[in-house]
Amino acid sequence: DAGVIQSPRHEVTEMGQEVTLRCKPISGHNSLFWYRQTMMRGLELLIYFNNNVPIDDSGMPEDRFSAKMPNASFSTLKIQPSEPRDSAVYFCASSLIGGYTFGSGTRLTVV
Amino acid sequence: GNSVTQMEGPVTLSEEAFLTINCTYTATGYPSLFWYVQYPGEGLQLLLKATKADDKGSNKGFEATYRKETTSFHLEKGSVQVSDSAVYFCALLNPLNTGTASKLTFGTGTRLQVTL
């Protein structure tokens, strides 16, 4: 099992550009979570899906952020337009019952 | 609601010292408890877990005992190594919330720095 796969590992973009982060969960896992991690705020849950359906997006900071899960093997987190304060490490995690498996994260830098 | 409180870091220890990282929780019912570890530049990894009171989770020399009477799940290791330097997160999963999804509640993390 390759684990949770995120891409890209690093992304540097200019303010105002659209950014799309990708996640492939572990096959058979039915829940998927997007987190953001910064020094100031620590680990924040942005949104999670259960069986491809968004359950709680109350952690999404604002309308510039959107997430989709079109099927059980793929999810995206999009930021449009991006701002410097969006710079962070974004993690995807999947689970079946309880224990999470995290991806290695995408380090986003918005300049 | 559910919450997890961890001791503030950073914790700095010399190699072979004894480690304790405190974790207490608030939850209704009987949650499962977890410790995750994040090494520099990586995602979080499950370190150990306990699913009921008095259970002891253990892995890689780390241990934590689920204490319902004190609502605690303190992480311990008898002799730390430089390679244990990482951020440690305590978390809980409340089975009362599994109707929609298995959502973990994380603590804020405690950074451990082990020096020679």
Tens-digit pLDDT profile for residues B91-106: 998 765 555 456 788 9
Residues A4, A90, A63, A42, Cα dihedral to 10°: 130
Distance CA B47, CA A103 (A): 15
Q: Does B44 touch chain A (CB under 8 A)?
A: yes
Residue-wise pLDDT for B1-51, tens only, equals 789 999 888 999 999 999 999 999 998 888 999 999 999 988 999 999 999
Calculate the alpha carbon distances from A107 to A26, B41, B86, B88 in Å: 21, 9, 18, 20
Residue of A nearest to B51 (CA): A98
Query: Residues of B numbered 52-81 whose beta carbons fall under 8 angstroms of chain A's beta carbons: which are they?
Result: none
Length of chain B counted residue by residue: 116
Yes or no: say if A84 and A15 are a contact pair by the CB < 8 Å rule: yes
Residue-wise pLDDT for A58-104, tens only, equals 899 889 999 999 999 999 999 999 999 999 999 999 998 767 899 99
Residues 6+ apart with CB under 8 A from A2: none
Q: What is the distance in angstroms between the Cα of A4 and the nearest Cα belonging to chain B?
A: 10
From the DSSP assignment, how many helices (H) and strands (E) are in chain B?
0, 12
Residue of B nearest to A49 (CA): B101
